[in-house]
Structure 1
Amino acid sequence: MKQPKLSSRTHGPISNLEDYVDSNWWTELFNEYYLKTDGDVVDDIQITRAEVDEFIQIMRLAKEERILDLCCGQGRHTLEFARRGFHRVEGYDYSRYLIKVARKQSKRSGLHVPFDQGDARSLPYETSSFHKVLILGNSFGYFQNINDDLIVLQEAFRVLKGGGSILIDITDGEFIKHNFEKRSWEWIDKDYFVCRERSLSADEQSLISREIVNHAKKGILVDQFYTERLYTKDALKDLLEKAGFMNVVFNKALESTSQRNQDLGMMSRRILVSASVRKVEHAIVPSPRKALNVYVLLGDKTRPDEVKPGGVFDEDDIYTINQLKIALSELEKTGYYRFQYLDNHSLFLSGIEKIAKKKEADLIFNLCDEGYDNDPKRELHIPALLDMLYLPYTGSDPRCLAFCYDKSLVRGIAEELNVPVAKGIVVSPGETNIKWKNSFPAIVKPNIGDGSFGITVKSIVNSNEELNAAIEELRIKFGTHRYILVEQFLNGKEITVGLIGNPHKTYRFFTITEEDFSVLPPDLPHLCGYEAKWLPESPYWKLRSIPANLPQETENFVKQCCLTLMHRLDVLDYARFDWRLDEKGNPYLLEVNPNPGWCWDGHLMKMAALDGLTYPEMLGLILQSAVERHFS
């Protein structure tokens, strides 16, 4: 007898479930099938209401508090809180599908609850901004590495205010370990049924589950595997305390039932654990008993600088340096710092070696974004030297600076991280007669560099003829050995995102700004390039940064992307991210700027000023971030 053909949608009989679990299973599993297989619990409003009753009582939630429902899924608890008058509740989850479902339900109910999508290990929220963080419905313990679970808790700790608290609703690992059903099957409805297999992982620290979802007529729809860590009470307590939480309390166990009354799996018996946060709600500063000796590294004003107009430091540059020194002298009055300056590059190497040998510096304030010998390609050489001499410094390391100096490399990393970038190509040296296969206009710019070097009004092209002419002009000006980047020029807003601090520690986003292009003559393209930053006689010099009027969803998405990039590129202490919007308002990354411009009238200071900060205060935040990173 001929055997029936096995469906390509199933793996068939297997001996070891663990071999089939992808380490990132949680990025794909939470979809429409999840809502079917777990619908007896997650879609039952009576169960949700009973659970929310418990959560409110345990956490003593107040309606005026800001509450984060972290890993909220389709928002069943979030929306129930909102229905009860908790109008400052927000939801956050990785699954785009479930967040989309949550937003639809919120809109349909007229509740208008904010739901954001992203990774719980890198939250887009300000430090100390929530009163309560809730991780409900067994949404914790999905990562292969327990350190990732710790990072989630550290992020929760960071966004909680002093005096705030966390509640985790998680499967009772000890109970499940000895009571899980190895095999089961159940009807989901009249058309769908699910078959399940389970086993412990080799180290017996996790439960591996397999679900085969079937349709009565269509057959097997999906064969999926996932794993969840089986936390004991002791392990949970240790992890919470390691993340900084105090007063860990295990509340009453949560026993689940459902109308189907069949296999409840990990939801059958859960632990409700709460913990509190104690914080000193002020910026971290050095001890006033001993001021830190800080050496400030700057560009050499006596040497040529190819980026600056005329190739030299001019009166504006000297004024900028003087404003810096005035601001730092204000910081000295606090008693926390003493500043000395090193800007003679003929003595740079010997001077830094002397500082290291005699241990004269507690911290290096690296503001030499001109690069060693005022060569921007040697900007990374300075932190490399500091690393070799074991001197702590502000800002990013040489590896990060090298990565971000190459625009196409950043584009590739962004695409890998699902951060949107405009369509583009890289033109190699010697390549001619380039044909742009996307829609015009396009923008032509050097692939490496910063300070908008090589980006002018002539960079915007509207035909292949103009494109090749612009490429040739760049080669004449900067050399034929340079790679050139061509990108689709987007017609929406140009926005800038700035932040000071470090993920998993303390950081703050500033008000996102956009360029006010309304001051330009109507015939000029909307571009913030070299003319706007360096040429006072240009119409672009009149450009001003104003608060960007963005939808909250767009703002949160952009911030999440910035944090993701900051992690991946290892950007430290302070950063600026440039974005461009298309005509529909969709954001696309332009550049990542580690160690961005620090001057009194630069983009970072403009954003800080919108938040009420003075120039000395902004510089102080950069120093505090480095102090926290090196000495905390």
Structure 2
Amino acid sequence: MNGNGQSGFGRGSLAGKTVLIVNTAGANDPLHSKKFFIKKIKSFGVKVLVLSQEANSFQPYVDYCLTANTTDYLEALTALDNFFKDKPELKLDGAITFLEDDVLLTAKIVDKYKLVGTPYKVASRTRNKYLLREFCAANNLPVVKFLALKHHRDLEEVIKTFRFPLVVKPAYGASSAFVMKVNNEEELRESYSYIKREISPKIESALADGLEVFVEEYIDGDEVDLDILVQNGKIKFCAISDNAKTKEPFFIETVRTTPSNLPPKNQAELVAMADETLEKLGILNGCVHFEAKSTLAGPMPIEINLRLGGDEVYPSIKGAWRVDLVENLLKIACGIYIPKFNFPNGPYEYLAAETFSSAYSGIIVNLEIDADLKRWPFVKEFAFEKKIGDSVLSPPDGYEYLGWILVSGLNALDASDNLRQVEKVINYEVAKFHPASFIGKTSRRSPFAASMINVDLLKGRSKIEKIRRMTISNQRNLHIGIAGNLYEESGADQETVVEQDLTVIGRDIAKTLQARGYKISFFDFNDLPKAFNDLKNSDVDLVFNVCERVNNSSLLEPHVAAIFDMLQIPYTGSNPFTLGLCIDKIRVKKLLSYHKIPTPEWDYVYSLDDDIREDLRYPLIVKPANTDNSIGITNDSVVRNKAELARQLEKVIKEIGRPALIEEYIDGDEYDVPIIGSEEDDLRILPLARSIFDALPSDLWHIYPFEAKYTESEAYKKIVVQRPPKNIGKKLETLLGEIALDTYNILDCHDYGRVEIRVDKHNNPYVLELNPNPSIDAEGTTVASAEVIGMDYGDFLEEIIRLAIKRYKDNPPYYHLQPNIL
């Protein structure tokens, strides 16, 4: 409908038109996608082409998707050229945008294809708020005193010649980002330093057009929005809305009411000022969101946005005046004449909108909204983009709103009363980030004296805070990332066999957790750059870390956990220090020996020239000192004399290229002691597994070589595994558990791990090693021990998640990076 009461006016005239929508953000961006507008445009029978950095995300809603970097005008224009060369049957009828970021590119497209719209020359001096003020000053339009701030010395002129209060703001930008009111000289200096230091398109994407800053005298008056349709230089429609006083010093939006309650004389002056300003600027066609103030000295322009206003603007205008800004914008862009709108009987209804924000940055820990709110008769629109556990960045850390609501009323007072009613059923609590995450923030002398915390850092901390504050009952609402390795089958060598095992682990976990209702994302660290970028940009709450290779090396496994810590993403399992320590068997042996943990007598060599202890008793076993998965361990690894020792050292050091660990061979049963937990109150020893080697052929040593773990060797199938062990004395079982717990704690293992212990013929235990992140595929030994106590695979995985959550909940951030042994 249009404002003249003509339903469906012009629908046929739009049908078949081809319109380009320039939209930098993706279709799934909750704040900027304008997905609703695009669907509406399609309903008019328009062919829609989207030009976006994430064009494919619009695929379900549009006819054509064109991907290009919209901040690179040459790339974007070239992509358009190539598109139309490939589709000569298409004729571009119009180009529009809904984002401030894309105003200038849209103007360039208007020029290039000779479309109806605002030329680039006009758009560039309007988009730049400083240039707009220069234009106003030169063309007898109202403007306050202003000055470009290019250096700290410019502040001295401001202090001498301007009257406080002042407003410091970027020449480009949107959503009041980096716009700050200052009341004195000290605040001026601090705010300027703060803005110049922190201003970035990462905080506000509209700043990609430029980072210039200027200052102007504060305008005291009633702030309004004028939403205007202008065609052929004539205003065809203008709606004035009142903005309640913003939260200063950062000008945070609060309440907007439509239509304006200003006296008719003031409204007429505002329209006349806007009309004159648009005419002099040369803004002849389009939908304009004009921000101004009504002051005692008359109307004053603040900024002019050459696009439709955001969020509540469209529905409030549609509700109050029955004018569809999107439909009429399309007609203007396509050169279809629209009549002037008249409303002799006044508005159809009165509307009030409120924008929700937080007074400080933090995390949403409580959110209560009446489930039937959208069905209340006077609630027109409601959008709450945040949910429990989400971070909220408030100035000076960032510029995020939580959502907004639009209500109607029979008159302005009725709309205001209705707004107060809905406020009572929208309750949210934002908790400041944990103090340990914010060293130095609490001593800020003024709102902008301290540097802005890096936004990525702050958002990362929010993930840790979410885990710290969540209840276990909400565990299945988590978005779980799985960090692992995926391989294609491509051979039967040792590495390939291990790779297939690693692939199975990740897939087993993903399949099982997904079946239990978790949202799952997989991050394949065989492609490190992609895994890192995907993680950095993801919204995963916690990562299940089962990655064992980076760049085809197990030595880089610890660095994966370090990546999680740097990105501040909570994860399961041990920290980088423990993972790095345990892969180095030589350092582990030194540490166990220092703490008097029983372990076979040992030595190590890095080269064939190194001396070896003479008191070691044969037989000995020679192992690569920093490989996992038994790689490099064969039946020949056990040696009986110096000649065999020399041969095996040659193999490990020369052929495999690793240092060698030499231990006295312990003949006896081997016990796996699986442990879960991290703290004294949650540590548990799962049922032990006992391997008995007595039935092996006489030519095989009683060990687990690679062949026993990863092949179908008939000989090694004779190893008997008891889970739990049979006929084992309670004293020995207790001793094994206590030694394993000491090892687990000394090496600072988290959430789960497995200690391997040899017991000789006299029941003497010897710790062989600790695996801090043992294999936990559905058929793995650790999982099998959990099943003995009635914990199936899914239960086991969920228990690991629960333990990780508890570890983050009970301790301050980065506590897990402080090893027990330090």
The normalised TM-score by structure 1 is 0.50
Check whether the contact 2:506–2:546 (CA below 8 A) recurs between aligned residues: no
Once the two structures are TM-superposed, the CA of residue 451 in structure 1 deviates from its matched residue by 1.1
1:527: which partner in 2? Answer: 703
* Range 394-403 or range 532-541, more displaced: 532-541
Deviation at 1:424, TM superposition (A): 1.0
Residue of structure 1 equivalent to 2:688:
512
Q: Match of 2:16?
A: none
Partner Cα separation in structure 2 for residue 513 and residue 577 of structure 1: 11
Match 1:338 to one of 496, 519, 534: 519
Q: Which residue of 2 is the match for residue 72 of structure 1?
A: none
Task: Write the deviation string for residues 83-115 of structure 1: whole angstroms up to 9, x where unpaired.
Answer: xxxxxxxxxxxxxxxxxxxxxxxxxxxxxxxxx
Q: 1:291 to 1:310 in 2, by over 3 A?
A: closer
Question: 5+ residue gaps in structure 2?
Answer: 1-469, 811-822
Change (3 A) 1:509 1:588: same
Q: Which residue of 1 aligns with 2:643?
A: 465
Aligned with 2:516: secondary structure? helix
Residue 318 of structure 1 deviates from its aligned partner by 5.2
Alignment of 1:227-376 (within 5 A): 286-288=472-474, 291-302=477-488, 308-310=494-496, 313-314=499-500, 321-332=506-517, 337-343=518-524, 345-346=526-527, 348-357=528-537, 360-368=539-547, 370-376=548-554
1:389 maps to what in 2?
567
Match of 1:630 in 2: 808
CA distance in 2, matches of 1:603, 1:525: 22
Is 1:548–2:548 an aligned residue pair? no
Q: Taking structure 1 as reference, are residues 446 and 625 closer, same or farther at Cα in structure 2, changes over 3 Å only?
A: same
Amino acid at match of 2:691: E
Residue 415 (1) aligns with residue 593 (2) = yes
Seen in structure 2, the aligned counterparts of structure 1 residues 320 and 390 have a Cα distance that, compared at 3 Å, is closer
> Structure 1 pair 318/296, CA: closer, same or farther in 2 (3 Å)?
closer
1:569 paired residue number:
747
Give deviations 1:221-263, integer Å, cap 9, x for gaps. Answer: xxxxxxxxxxxxxxxxxxxxxxxxxxxxxxxxxxxxxxxxxxx
Structure 1 range deviating more: 409-418 or 392-401: 409-418
- 1:614 and 2:799 matched: no
Q: Compared with structure 1, are the counterparts of its residues 527 and 421 closer, same or farther at alpha carbon in structure 2 (3 Å cutoff)? A: same
Sort the Cα spacing of 1:319 and 1:410 in 2 relative to 1 into closer, same or farther, 3 A.
Answer: closer
Shift of 1:608: 1.6
Is the 1:395–1:594 contact (alpha carbons within 8 Å) kept by the matching residues of 2? Answer: yes
Counterpart residue type for residue 782 of structure 2: L
Q: Is the 8 A contact 2:621 2:664 kept in 1?
A: yes
Q: Secondary structure at the match of 2:474?
A: coil
Q: Cα distance, 1:468 vs. partner? A: 1.1
The answer to whether the 8 A contact 2:525-2:550 is kept is no
Matched residue type, 2:484? L
**TM-score under structure 2 normalisation?**
0.39
Between the aligned partners of 1:305 and 1:571, the Cα distance in structure 2 is: 34
Tell me how far apart the structure 2 counterparts of residues 349 and 401 of structure 1 sit (CA, whole Å): 21
Q: How is 1:182-197 mapped onto 2 (pairs within 5 angstroms)?
A: none
Name the CA distance, whole Å, in 2 between partners of 1:289 and 1:372: 29
Shift of 1:438: 2.6
List per-residue Cα deviations over 1:105-140 (Å, max 9, x = no partner).
xxxxxxxxxxxxxxxxxxxxxxxxxxxxxxxxxxxx
Segments of 4+ in structure 1 off by > 6 A?
Answer: 303-307
The 8 Å contact of residues 434 and 468 in structure 1, kept in 2 or not, is answered as: no
Does the CA-based 8 Å contact 1:331-1:620 persist in structure 2? no
**2: CA distance between counterparts of 1:541 and 1:448?**
27
In structure 1, distance between residues paired with 2:654 and 2:800:
39
Q: State the alpha-carbon separation in 2 of the partners of residues 307 and 399 from structure 1.
A: 30
Number of aligned pairs? Answer: 339
Corresponding residue for 1:559? 737
Matching of residue 451 in structure 1 with residue 629 in structure 2: yes
1:304 and 1:448, CA in 2 relative to 1: closer, same or farther beyond 3 A? Answer: farther
Q: Secondary structure at the match of 1:493?
A: strand
1:596 maps to 2:781: no
Closer/same/farther in 2, CA of residues 555 and 466 from structure 1, 3 Å limit: same
Aligned to 1:581: 759
Q: Cα 1:609–1:516, aligned 2, differ >3 Å: closer, same or farther?
A: farther
* CA distance in structure 2 between the partners assigned to 1:354 and 1:496 by the alignment: 36
Which is greater in Rg? 2
| Aligned-pair CA distance for 1:321 | 4.6
Q: Is the contact between residue 439 and residue 488 of structure 1 (CA under 8 Å) also seen in structure 2? A: yes
How far apart are the structure 2 equivalents of 1:507 and 1:435?
38
Q: Return the offset for 1:292.
A: 0.6
**Distance change >3 Å, CA 289–CA 602, structure 1 → 2:** closer
- Flag the 1:298–1:427 CA change in 2: closer, same or farther, 3 A: same
The SS at the match of 1:287 is helix
Q: What CA deviation, in whole Å up to 9, does each residue of 1:195-214 have, x standing for no partner?
A: xxxxxxxxxxxxxxxxxxxx
1:477 aligns with 2:672: no
Gaps of 5+ in 1: 1-283
Q: Could you tell me how far apart the structure 1 residues matched to 2:721 and 2:524 are? A: 30
Shift of 1:432: 6.1
> How has the CA–CA distance of structure 1 residues 437 and 404 changed in structure 2, closer, same or farther, with 3 Å as cutoff?
same
CA distance in 2, matches of 1:478, 1:541: 27
Q: Select the structure with the greater relative contact order (CA < 8 A; seq sep ≥ 6).
A: 1
Work out whether residues 486 and 503 of structure 2, in 8 Å CA contact, stay in contact via their aligned partners in 1: no
The residue type paired with residue 741 of structure 2 is L
Conservation of the 8 A alpha-carbon contact between 2:486 and 2:502:
no
Residue pair 2:693, 2:702 contacting (<8 A) in 1 also: yes
User: What letter is aligned with 1:287?
Assistant: S
Shift of 1:502: 1.3
Question: In the superposition, relative to structure 1, how do residues 290 and 483 fare at CA in structure 2: closer, same or farther (>3 Å)?
Answer: closer
Cα distance change on mapping 1:498 and 1:352 into 2, 3 Å? same
Deviations 1:163-193 (A, max 9, x none): xxxxxxxxxxxxxxxxxxxxxxxxxxxxxxx
Distance (whole Å) between structure 1 residues aligned to residue 782 and residue 471 of structure 2: 21
- RMSD, aligned CA: 2.7
What is the rounded CA distance, in whole Å, between the counterparts of 1:600 and 1:613 in structure 2?
12
SS at match of 1:295: strand
Partner Cα separation in structure 2 for residue 319 and residue 430 of structure 1: 38
Distance (Å, rounded) in 2 between the aligned partners of 1:344 and 1:401: 16
- Residues 593 and 599, structure 2, Cα contact 8 Å, conserved in 1: yes
Change (3 A) 1:494 1:613: same
Mapped to 2, the partners of 1:551 and 1:623 lie a distance apart of 34
Q: CA deviation at 1:466?
A: 1.2
Give yes or no for contact 1:434–1:464 (8 Å, CA) kept in 2: no
**Mapped partners of 1:307, 1:388: distance in 2:** 35
1:401 aligns with 2:579: yes
Residue 416 of structure 2: aligned partner: none
Change (3 A) 1:623 1:613: same
- Tell me how far apart the structure 2 counterparts of residues 406 and 325 of structure 1 sit (CA, whole Å): 30
